[in-house]
């Protein structure tokens, strides 16, 4: 979706910059958690890693894109509060200020979805609103003193349901002439199970973890059957790049679902690291890499042309995550785990650098060999 003329690019840039600061701050906090020789400030940056990455970085991007789709200035309240709340947490300001701002951001995002629903109701939009609800519940629990480790299903529910809703939006392209009712029944059952599973794992950790893992596998199953990426992966250029990123991300979400369903709840240790990063790196970051060539131009009104160089950070992300989860968490090779985690960060920063260079080259008209950007390429991604 593209924004209405009333929402200027100038009003979006500070929020995009704030999201970038959240990304860098979250990555730095991860270095602290890896026990690398970097200073941990008095604020305890390591403890801010999860909320800053999910609510600060991903939440600000989602809120900004939805505000652009709405085309109204009040929609910018959601990304503004998410960025400010995350930066407050990152700065180590104690108390309720950061979590409260993040809760307000979730409420504002729910308001944006309500306005979009009034324009055109859909099951895709309902799933995205359910994701915002997960965000809101997670921040309320955080304000109530629940440890971050126990909030992971709510953080994961936010990103999984938001992305599933985006993909359901595009699935209509592949369902032309078909009865959508059984498709939507499966979709609604899977996404409802994600909400129910996040609640169950909080109340009944042992059985709830199994149900939560199965819920994630239900979402993966729907994506595997109905997502157009299964067909576009056989294409060329941008559609194929997007499909490769999506399918790789779905595989990591399946890994997380299996680990939860088969291993039960976890709040620490190697399996916790594996589950956490299968969802938030393997799945979420892969989705961001894949959607960026469409989402960033819609937000910035600047082309991000496809170029094969984008496969380099995407490949590094997944190969390093295989090393981290398989050999680091699985076998217990601490050295491999640590340096694979560093490579994870290099992949994220490398993708941001590639995207910035490609956009600058496109702006100067010297993007040699890059394919022209299409605002919403058919059967590629949902904006």
* Residue 114, phi then psi, degrees to nearest 5: -65, -40
Q: Are 254 and 325 in contact (CB under 8 A)?
A: no
Q: Are 210 and 275 in contact (CB under 8 A)?
A: no
The mean pLDDT value for 253-265 works out to 92
Rounded Cα distance, 253 and 247, in Å: 10
Q: Report in angstroms the alpha-carbon separations of 170 from 175, 277, 319, 345.
A: 9, 26, 28, 30
Across the chain, the runs of DSSP E, i.e. the strands, are none
Whether pLDDT at 379 is above 50: no
Tokens at residue 224, please?
């595997």
pLDDT value of position 368: 44
Q: Are 161 and 222 in contact (CB under 8 A)?
A: no
pLDDT band at 381 (very low <50, low <70, confident <90, very high): very low
Q: Which of 12, 160, 148, 4 is nearest to 89 (CA)?
A: 148
Q: Are 150 and 202 in contact (CB under 8 A)?
A: yes
Rounded Cα distance, 171 and 232, in Å: 12
Mean predicted lDDT score pLDDT of the chain: 88
pLDDT band at 6 (very low <50, low <70, confident <90, very high): low
- How much is the pTM? 0.90
Rounded Cα distance, 59 and 82, in Å: 6
pLDDT value of position 37: 81
């Amino acid at each position: 979706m593209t924004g209405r003329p009333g929402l200027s690019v100038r009003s979006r840039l500070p929020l995009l910059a704030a999201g970038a600061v959240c990304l860098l701050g979250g990555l730095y906090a991860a270095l602290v958690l890896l026990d690398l020789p970097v200073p941990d400030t008095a604020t305890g940056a390591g403890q801010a890693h999860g909320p800053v990455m999910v609510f600060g970085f991903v939440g600000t991007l989602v809120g900004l894109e939805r505000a652009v789709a709405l085309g109204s200035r009040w929609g910018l309240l959601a990304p503004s509060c998410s960025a400010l709340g995350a930066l407050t947490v990152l700065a180590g300001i104690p108390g309720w200020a950061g979590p409260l701002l993040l809760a307000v951001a979730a409420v504002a995002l729910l308001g944006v979805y309500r306005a979009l629903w009034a324009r055109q109701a859909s099951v895709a939009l309902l799933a995205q609103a359910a994701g915002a609800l997960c965000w809101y519940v997670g921040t309320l629990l955080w304000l109530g003193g629940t440890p971050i480790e126990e909030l992971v299903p709510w953080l994961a529910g936010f990103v999984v349901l938001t992305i599933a809703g985006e993909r359901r939006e595009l699935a209509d392209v592949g369902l032309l002439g078909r009865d959508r009712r059984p498709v939507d029944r499966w979709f609604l059952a899977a996404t409802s199970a994600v909400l129910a599973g996040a609640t169950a794992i909080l109340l009944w950790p042992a059985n709830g973890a199994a149900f939560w893992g199965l819920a994630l596998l239900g979402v993966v199953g729907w994506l595997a059957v109905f997502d157009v990426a299964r067909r576009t992966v056989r294409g060329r250029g941008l559609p194929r790049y997007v499909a490769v990123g999506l399918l790789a991300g779905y595989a990591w979400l399946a890994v997380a679902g299996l680990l939860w369903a088969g291993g039960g709840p976890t709040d620490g240790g190697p399996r916790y690291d594996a589950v956490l990063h299968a969802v938030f790196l393997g799945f979420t970051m892969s989705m961001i890499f894949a959607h960026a060539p469409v989402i960033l131009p819609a937000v910035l009104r600047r082309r991000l042309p496809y170029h094969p160089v984008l496969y380099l950070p995407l490949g590094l992300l997944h190969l390093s995550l295989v090393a981290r989860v398989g050999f680091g968490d699985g076998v217990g090779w601490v050295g491999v785990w640590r340096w694979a985690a560093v490579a994870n960060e290099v992949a994220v920063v490398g993708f941001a650098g590639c995207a910035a260079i490609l956009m600058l080259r496109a702006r100067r008209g010297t993007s040699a060999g890059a394919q022209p950007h299409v605002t919403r390429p058919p059967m590629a991604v949902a904006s």
